Amino acid sequence: MIEIHQGAFGDEIFAACFAIRWSVFIEEQNVPVGLERDNDDETATHFLALIDDIPAATARAVHRSPHLIKLSRVAVLKPFRGQGLGETLMKAAHNAFPGTDFTLNAQLHALPFYTRLGYRAEGAVFDEAGIAHRHMVRLSASTR
Ligand code: COA
């Protein structure tokens, strides 16, 4: 059974989210610790997906303006990938902020994942933490 929880900086949900980020971004993708942690953690809503009570995926949402949210740190632990968990988590984040536009910086391999969820790529490829990215935007249903 999948459950999605929301947390905030410093609470136990955040700790579980950060443990997943550590495993995926720092250990698997070699992102430097100093880049993985940033000030957005303090204001973000942190989403945690549990499968049968096991922390398995995370993402965070930060308001950039009243109607624009930036999603980042989208990560599913390796053994749980390819089962629809990332998609379920993203939809939960979208549903948590109805009527809001979303933006994110997508690693190139994940473009099809986000495109399926209504995001469109904008602009050129750029480097973030040594990984090629593109900016993507998802307009809310009311403005699409
Ligand atoms: N490349 C291409 N398409 C992908 C993909 C990938 N890496 N991951 C998912 N998709 C697509 C597939 O079309 C899939 O549909 P299908 O079941 O018909 O094949 C659909 O997205 C839904 O996939 P889902 O099972 O929900 O994805 P997931 O749970 O494996 O999560 C990621 C996807 C990208 C979050 C996960 O692979 C991950 O955590 N990767 C490492 C961290 C990372 O790169 N995060 C993204 C930072 S921008």
Q: What is the pTM of this model?
A: 0.96
Q: What percent of the chain stands above pLDDT 70?
A: 98
Reduce the DSSP state of residue 144 to 3 states and report it.
Answer: coil
Distance CA 89, CA 143 (A): 23
Q: Is the CB of 24 under 6 A from ligand 1?
A: yes
Mean local confidence (pLDDT), 122-136: 96
Q: Cβ neighbours of residue 89 under 8 Å, at least 6 residues apart?
A: 4, 47, 49, 57, 58, 59, 74, 76
Mean local confidence (pLDDT), 117-136: 96
Residue 38 predicted with pLDDT over 70: yes
Q: Is the CB of 76 under 6 A from ligand 1?
A: yes
Distance CA 42, CA 10 (A): 8
pLDDT at 88: 98
pLDDT bin (cut points 50, 70, 90) of residue 107 is very high
pLDDT bin (cut points 50, 70, 90) of residue 64 is very high
pLDDT digits (tens, 9 = 90+) for 72-101: 999 999 999 999 999 999 999 999 999 999
pLDDT at 141: 77
pLDDT at 143: 65
Cα of 98 from ligand 1 centre, angstroms? 23
- Nearest Cα residue to atom 14 of ligand 1: 113
Cα of 113 from ligand 1 centre, angstroms? 5
Reduce the DSSP state of residue 88 to 3 states and report it.
Answer: helix
Distance CA 108, CA 125 (A): 8
Structural domains present in the chain:
2-138 (3.40.630.30)
From 35, 77, 81, 105, mutation site for ligand 1 pocket: most ligand atoms within 8 A of C-beta? 81
